[in-house]
Amino acid sequence: MRTRIYRRHNRAGYTLVEAAVAATVLLIAVGAACALSLTMITQEEIHVRVSRAVNLVENATQLYHLGIDTEVPSGSTDATVFSLLPPDPMVSSFTATAQTSPAMTGIGAPQQVSFALTFFPTADPAVWQPATTSFSGTWGGRPDTAVAGNSDTRTIGPVKAVRPSVR
Amino acid sequence: MMVMVVTTIGVASWLAIVNGRTMYTEAVEDGMRRRVALENSRSIAEEYMYRVAATSDAAPAASFPLDPDAIPNPNPPAEADQPDIVEQVQIAANADGPLEASSTDPISRVNRLGMAEGIDCYQTFYNVALGRGTNQRIRRFELRGRSPILYGDLVTLHRPTLTPGSTSSPDIRFRGNVNVKGRTVLWRPDMIDYDSDSLFSSNEYVLKSRSYGDLPVYNSVGDRLRPSNFPFKPTSAGSTAAGDLGFDGRLSTVENASNPINTLFGRIGGVGGTVGRVEANGDAISSERGVVSNGSGSISIDLSESSLSKIYIKNNTRTITLNGQADDTAFDAAADLQPVILVIIQDGLTSRDLDTIQLTHRNSRRLIVAVKTTIDAGQSASRLRAKFRWMNSNASPKPTWRLIAIAENTEIRFQHDADNSHVTIFGGIRTDRGFYSDNVDTKSFTIERETNPESTLTALLDRNVWLESYNPD
């Protein structure tokens, strides 16, 4: 009599369902990691740009405190303060608006200017290139407004800078 | 699992770093605003010190609290239009200012600082506390004053106090074959009528502001000079009139009732200060300390007279002759005599208005000639001038003169009596009505810096003050 011997296989295995679930979980994890990475890279870019924008505003105020004019000299398209700052394609606009001087008893009326810088905070494929256009009276850099989808902006300011009127 | 664990740890670390950078970036903007607020507060403190201390002899208040809420909002209702400032500025009191003549002696907190080449600077200081809450920052402000001519501003064309007669052809002319071995300072180039045939040259060239344009100033080899200054530090010689500050380039240091401590008229005693002073008003003077007046508008002054130091001429004088030293012995001896200040004030036009100041021989005596004409606009430029006319100017050796000329509302005009002549002047000029020399092809001048002013000349001259700020830490 022939005896049929059934041997149990010792090798472990996964069913197709198990493999599919595992692959899905892995894909989700990898996808999440990729998305997180992109987000963080974007966030890093934002940090860099915000820091740069803050530096530009502070540099402008320091130049103003030193006595540099915010008016546009004859023969130029940019205010003297801005012509001394490096052009930056992330800048959408950088304005210096003369403010009514705050009259203070016993002091007089110090000069006051309000600086505001609007920039594109997100990463984009903008190419750094020399200035070919300018914002009359405000900024000499070439803004990357032509980049599709790059319409979100952020503004640093207004930051008020005050200097003595006696000059 | 290991890979996932490591990856998770890595991503978590990255997240933490990015979060930290987010917080840092937010703090960067806050930090920037705080630094701007401190700078703004410092500027306001400077404004206060400029107005109170630099333009008068008044002492600032012992304590000057600065409350942002007390500042009227200039652009209501937007709260954002308020400037960012700290909450309090405390300015330490000080009794003396560096403009006054008495600061020649170290009194109180006014000090004399030795600058380059024996030139003194007068200084007082203020300690200013800038505070927000309990956080205080101490700044030290030093208010300094010195003669701009002695420090190298050999030719300064100021902004006119009185309006020129015509805007299309202003009285402020600028022309000459003059080589300035120092700085030329132009406050308002847009108000100057510059002659294109001028051979004016200078070692350096300073503009008040680029917004007022430029003038073709060349160096000694004919290259066009660019202005050597970046921002212009606010300077003042004091109030130009009651309630008016002196930071716009107007010249008011010959005679100024609003600020007598920094005037040359004040240096010779001012109103009533007649001790040791020779006064002439057109009447005859036979001989007084080397001064002779013929009573007909002509005055002669002997610059070798040792007792001479102060001369005040008011009106009715058409010609003044300054007699220098004819020989080497007298020339060398005059260098050791006390300086001479000649103050000429014309407060009304007569038939004997000042026209010519003749200069004979050479002069090594330190000499200040200050002229002020107080007539109003609309008068002919020819009636607002002082012609410095060098006699025998082609003599050998070529004349050298120690001369500092300051002219308010009066054009300074240099002339020679002979062609192919050259005069070297050790000193400088300041004027708000133009600087003009004749015959640029055959008559030339060199203006050099007085390198040995000695303390007496330094103390006698008018001063400009400015503020410097230091961190005492």
CB-closest option in B24, B36, B43 to A58: B36
pLDDT at res. B449: 93
CB-closest option in A33, A55, A99 to B74: A99
Q: Is the pLDDT reported for residue A134 higher than 60? A: no
pLDDT band at B423 (very low <50, low <70, confident <90, very high): very high
Query: Does B80 contact chain A (CB < 8 Å)?
Result: yes
B86-95, B119-128, B404-413: segment of lowest average pLDDT: B86-95
pLDDT at res. A124: 53
CB pair distance less than 8 Å for B36 and A158? no
pLDDT at res. B170: 56
Q: Is the pLDDT reported for residue B85 higher than 80? A: no
pLDDT band at A71 (very low <50, low <70, confident <90, very high): confident
Give dist(CA B104, CA B456) in Å, integer: 9
Give dist(CA A115, CA B297) in Å, integer: 61
pLDDT at res. B190: 84
Residues 276-295 (B) with a CB less than 8 A from some CB of A: none
pLDDT at res. B469: 82
Mean of pLDDT values over B368-374: 93
Residues 149-208 (B) with a CB less than 8 A from some CB of A: none
Distance from CA of B41 to the nearest CA of A (A): 8
B51-65, B248-262, B427-441: segment of lowest average pLDDT: B51-65
Dihedral of alpha carbons B329, B333, B339, B340, sign: negative
Cβ contacts of A37 on chain B, cutoff 8 Å? 11, 14
Mean of pLDDT values over B101-118: 53
User: A117: which residues sit within 8 A by CB, 6+ positions away?
Assistant: A53, A56, A57, A60, A91, A93, A94, A95, A155, A156, A157
What is the value of ipTM here, to two decimals? 0.76
Cβ contacts of A159 on chain B, cutoff 8 Å? 32-33, 36, 84
If you count residue pairs, one on A and one on B, with CB atoms under 8 Å apart, how many are there? 131
pLDDT at res. B103: 44
pLDDT at res. A133: 38
Between strands B277-280 and B201-207, the pairing is unpaired
A50-59, B274-283, B321-330: segment of lowest average pLDDT: B274-283
Please answer whether residues B113 and B121 qualify as being in contact, where contact means their C-beta atoms are separated by less than 8 angstroms. yes
Distance from CA of B32 to the nearest CA of A (A): 6
Q: Is the pLDDT reported for residue B193 higher than 50? A: yes
DSSP states of B204-258: EEEES-GGG-----B-TTSPBPPP--SSPPP-BSS-SBTTB-S-SSB---SS-TT
Chain B: residue whose CA lies nearest to A32 = B11
A67-81, A140-154, B244-258, B441-455: segment of lowest average pLDDT: A140-154
Mean of pLDDT values over A54-62: 93
Query: Does B215 contact chain A (CB < 8 Å)?
Result: no
CB-closest option in A80, A108, A114 to B210: A80
pLDDT at res. A154: 85
User: B230: which residues sit within 8 A by CB, 6+ positions away?
Assistant: A66, A68
B164-168, B343-347, B375-379: segment of lowest average pLDDT: B164-168
CB pair distance less than 8 Å for A110 and B44? yes
Identity of the highest mean pLDDT range in A75-79, B74-78, B355-359: B355-359
Give dist(CA A80, CA B371) in Å, integer: 38
On the CB side of A124, CA atoms within 13 Å amount to: 22
CB-closest option in A43, A54, A99 to B28: A54
Q: Is the pLDDT reported for residue B322 higher than 80? A: yes
Identity of the highest mean pLDDT range in B8-17, B159-168, B394-403, B406-415: B406-415
Distance from CA of A100 to the nearest CA of B (A): 6
